[in-house]
Amino acid sequence: MKKDLQARLEAEFIEIECSIAADSASLNSPQRKGGSAGETEQ
């Protein structure tokens, strides 16, 4: 039971991390920077 809850929390945390990464990726999009600099920075 405890392990299941931890797995769910980890999954939510990963989802949040992914959405934050997607947000920052869209902020650093190549269209705004010019060229493909936004894509290579990770």
Q: For the segment 10-22, what is each residue's pLDDT rounded down to a tens digit?
A: 999 999 999 999 8
Residue 35 lies in a domain: no
Residue 36 lies in a domain: no
| Number of domains composing the chain | 1
Residue 4 lies in a domain: yes
Residue 37 has pLDDT above 60, yes or no: no
Residue 3 lies in a domain: yes
Residue 15 lies in a domain: yes
- For residue 10, give its domain range: 1-25
Sequential DSSP letters for 1-42: -HHHHHHHHHHHHHHHHHHHHHHHHHHT-HHHHSTTHHHH--
Residue 33 lies in a domain: no
pLDDT band at 36 (very low <50, low <70, confident <90, very high): low
Residue 30 lies in a domain: no
